[in-house]
């Protein structure tokens, strides 16, 4: 159960960071206090849940909250 709570807390931090405009893994991981692989893991989970999308810009992916993700986020507040 502890890992589930930590995972939810990490994804919540990532979403809050993305709301402030940080949108690539290096920026998100730095602000969230996660490794880049850890941030990528959580972003892929959010992608599967349609909370975020990713667009490749060269070698760097730009992650953004989807409208669905924003609605889900603000409806739970």
Tally the C-alpha atoms within 13 A of residue 15's C-alpha that lie toward its C-beta.
Answer: 23
**Every domain of the chain and the residues it spans:** 2-75
Q: Among candidates 44, 45, 51, which has minimal Cα distance to 67?
A: 51
Q: Average pLDDT over the chain, rounded to whole?
A: 88
pTM above 0.75, yes or no: yes
Here the tokens at position 36 are: 């880049």
For 22-55, the pLDDT digits (tens) are 799 999 999 999 999 999 999 999 999 999 999 9
Residue 65 burial (CB count, 10 A): 19
Here the tokens at position 22 are: 């940080």
Cβ(50)–Cβ(35) under 8 Å? no
pLDDT confidence bin for 7, thresholds 50/70/90:
confident
CATH of 2-75, one of 3.40.710.10, 3.40.50.1390, 3.30.70.560, 1.10.10.10: 1.10.10.10
pLDDT of residue 1: 55
């Amino acid at each position: 159960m502890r890992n589930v709570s930590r995972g939810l807390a990490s994804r919540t931090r990532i979403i809050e960071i993305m709301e402030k405009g940080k949108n690539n893994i290096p920026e998100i991981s730095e602000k969230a206090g996660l490794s880049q692989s850890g941030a990528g893991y959580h972003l892929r989970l959010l992608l599967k849940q349609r909370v975020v999308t990713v667009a490749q810009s060269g070698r760097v992916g730009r992650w953004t909250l989807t409208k669905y993700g924003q609605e889900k986020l603000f409806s739970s507040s």
